[in-house]
Chains A and B, each alone.
Chain A
């Protein structure tokens, strides 16, 4: 069968070709007020701290900020763009250490920390992800386990 090619993604990275220490291609994302609006639409999270500037500031934040679900989406995109559209996230943890606000430019970086198989024989890759903002390199950190199809 001929497989239809994707213009954006490889099908799958080969598990056996991945090495510990491999760095993923960094990804940059500019956060605007529209990004925050799309965050509300995309996650349906109406908690005011993500769209009401006065509420956010009154509750200790420098401005409205991106929610956890937005970062889950960004990290998922980042890893699948590397692993291919047949890669499948098995585990994801996200820790927000600083807020992502309008005007920030985020840079996502990732490093392979383990190449392993689980008890079912699935080829798994562990990746540590750090998202930098203007103030710190680890504004958000994530740990990902992704299964490669091969």
Chain B
């Protein structure tokens, strides 16, 4: 039997464009994380690898690939229980988490990124501390029947900061499809 989505759109609208808290990456930005990212795609750019060349460059120091932001700021895959509990508490209180919980009631829990757009304002690198992100839901579509199952297009924007400055280093816009997997 097909699900009814009546009233879902109105429930989700309450979570769009709500104020957000800054959430910090689990640990400071380190050269080793940057190099694992670069190694993944075999990127030999000396601005990320060679301290001498990087120091002589217009950046004046080793930097991170600006486009590695999402990877470098991602949540740890494991934390000690008390740290994980604190992070879960902060994240569960966000409008995004509440919207996702509503979608989960309808079986829509599988996520795939449809489009990711980022704008980079300034270089950042090792020594800049942790990466902070402020993640705001900006749009949620009505339910669509997609080729992988029923789902919604869920759009959010993220402002990224480091502990070095209160000015954002980047802004991202993410369009994701959150769908009911395993329904085909």
Q: Which residues of A contact B (CB under 8 A)?
A: 1, 3-4, 6, 8-9, 11, 29, 35, 38-39, 41-47, 49, 58-60, 67-70, 72-77, 80-81, 85-86, 88-96, 149
Indicate which residue in A29, A45, A88 contacts B123 across the interface (CB closer than 8 Å). A88
With known contacts A42-B39, A72-B67, A93-B118, A59–B148 Cβ distance under 8 A: yes
Determine if B167 is an interface residue (Cβ-Cβ < 8 Å): no
> B120 near A77 (CB under 8 angstroms)?
no
> B71 near A47 (CB under 8 angstroms)?
no
Interface of B, secondary structure class, is mixed
Residues of A within 8 A of B59 (CB): 86, 88
Interface string of B117-129 (1 = CB under 8 A from A): 1111001000000
**B side interface size, CB within 8 A:** 47
Q: Residue of B at shortest CB range from A65?
A: B112
A-B contact pairs, 27 of them (CB 8 A): A3-B56, A4-B50, A4-B53, A6-B50, A38-B39, A39-B40, A42-B40, A43-B70, A60-B147, A60-B184, A68-B113, A70-B41, A72-B71, A73-B38, A73-B43, A73-B67, A74-B41, A85-B47, A85-B53, A85-B57, A86-B47, A86-B58, A89-B66, A89-B67, A91-B118, A93-B117, A94-B115
Q: Residue of A at shortest CB range from B123?
A: A88
- List 11 extra interface pairs beyond A43-B40, A72-B70, CB under 8 A: A6-B50, A8-B45, A11-B57, A38-B40, A42-B71, A49-B112, A73-B38, A81-B45, A90-B120, A92-B120, A94-B117
